[in-house]
Amino acid sequence: MIEAENLTKFYGPTAAIQDVTFQVERGEIVGFLGPNGAGKTTTMKILTAFFPPTSGTARVAGYDVLHDSLQVRRRVGYLPENVPLYMDQTVSGYLCFIAEIRDIPRAQRKARVAEAMEECGLLEVQDRLIGKLSKGFRQRVGLAQALLHRPEVLILDEPTIGLDPKQIAEIRQLIRNLAGDRTVILSTHILPEVSMICGRAMIINKGRIVAADTPKNLTARLQKGFRIHLEVEGPDQEAILGALEGVEGVRCVQRERTLSPKAAAYLVESEDRRDIRSQLARTIVERGWGLLELRAQDMSLEEIFLELVTEEPKEDSAQESSPFV
């Protein structure tokens, strides 16, 4: 559905993105992650035919963003970070205006507007001024305008930014419901959002894609050892645990507990991915400590992200040789 090959964009002498290559299949929800200035917005603006790449190619629904930009625009719904809304219009009036400039046939406009409002949960506020709506409902209006022309591809830039927890949960569920027939690219800096919504993550850093896979596969590739979350009550646990055979390292992750001043939580990593949970449990019991919790723990998406974006590339062609792309 979306194919990008060697996309490069220069702003004067500065490269915003370089040799960006990826594919997104029909019906996928893909999270697009990266630090500020990494090239996320530039990539999305190229995919929406907002401006052309300096070099490279991109195709959306089979159409080239440079040579068939009008066809691309007809097939893409775009929600920018700052939604361009007219605060003095009603919800239905604004969506009717967008339907008109989207060149939706007059006979279909009323039905399309009603369909988008129902899909985005806006029927109850359709006659209210947009300027009087909460931030959450304004985001819904932004999603509705992106859906009016029934696009095959949705590109959403920080769709939950500035929302309260309840609104965030509602927008996330709405995005899940939009997938299936549509392909969704979700740009966000909220890493748990990707785990909750997306089937795959693409991570961009310094203008290059450094990883593109499911969070589970990224964990398997990046996690060097078997990791265990351990909560135990007893004296001097860290040094004793670190000296056990097969333990690569021990890190205290929490000392303040309300139940006991001697309890602490540790992240224990084993050598060569060995499962040493039984050995840890035996040691704790033999020493008379209190075992409060012991479980395997994978790397979080946040840890994966930080490892990928803070690691210095060994050479300029790091993207080409990376096993994660």
Give the span between the Cα atoms of 126 and 53, in whole angstroms. Answer: 39
Instruction: Report residue 241 as tokens.
Output: 């645990």
- Residue 278: which CATH number? 3.30.70.1340
Task: Give the domain range for residue 249.
Answer: 224-296
Both 175 and 157 in a single domain?
yes
Both 216 and 228 in a single domain?
no
- Residue 135: which CATH number? 3.40.50.300
Task: Tell me what pLDDT residue 258 has.
Answer: 41
Task: Tell me what pLDDT residue 260 has.
Answer: 61
Task: Tell me what pLDDT residue 265 has.
Answer: 84
Q: Is residue 310 part of a domain?
A: no
Flag whether pLDDT at 57 surpasses 70: yes
Q: Three-state DSSP class for 74?
A: helix
Give the span between the Cα atoms of 19 and 115, in whole angstroms. Answer: 39
Domain boundary among 220, 253, 279: 220
Length of the chain: 325
| 232-262: pLDDT as tens digits | 887 767 777 888 888 878 888 775 554 566 7
Instruction: Report residue 111 as tokens.
Output: 């039905």
Give the span between the Cα atoms of 325 and 322, in whole angstroms. Answer: 6
Both 172 and 60 in a single domain?
yes
DSSP character at residue 6? E
Q: Which of the residue ranges 28-37, 39-48, 102-111, 252-261 would you say has the lowest mean pLDDT?
A: 252-261
Domain boundary among 178, 202, 220: 220
Give the span between the Cα atoms of 104 and 85, in whole angstroms. Answer: 19
Of the pLDDT bands very low, low, confident and very high (cuts 50, 70, 90), residue 322 is: very low
Considering its fold, how many domains does the chain have in total?
2
Both 157 and 264 in a single domain?
no
Q: Three-state DSSP class for 252?
A: strand
Both 78 and 163 in a single domain?
yes
Both 184 and 272 in a single domain?
no
Considering only the C-alpha atoms of the chain, give the largest distance between any 2 of them, rounded to a whole number of Å. 79
Pick the more confident residue, 319 or 71: 71
| 65-85: pLDDT as tens digits | 999 999 999 999 999 888 889
Strands 183-187 and 29-33, bridge-based pairing? parallel
Both 194 and 264 in a single domain?
no
Give the span between the Cα atoms of 58 and 63, in whole angstroms. Answer: 8
Q: Is residue 11 part of a domain?
A: yes
Both 117 and 259 in a single domain?
no
Both 150 and 274 in a single domain?
no
Both 106 and 229 in a single domain?
no
Q: Is the dihedral of CA 25, 29, 34, 38 positive or negative?
A: positive
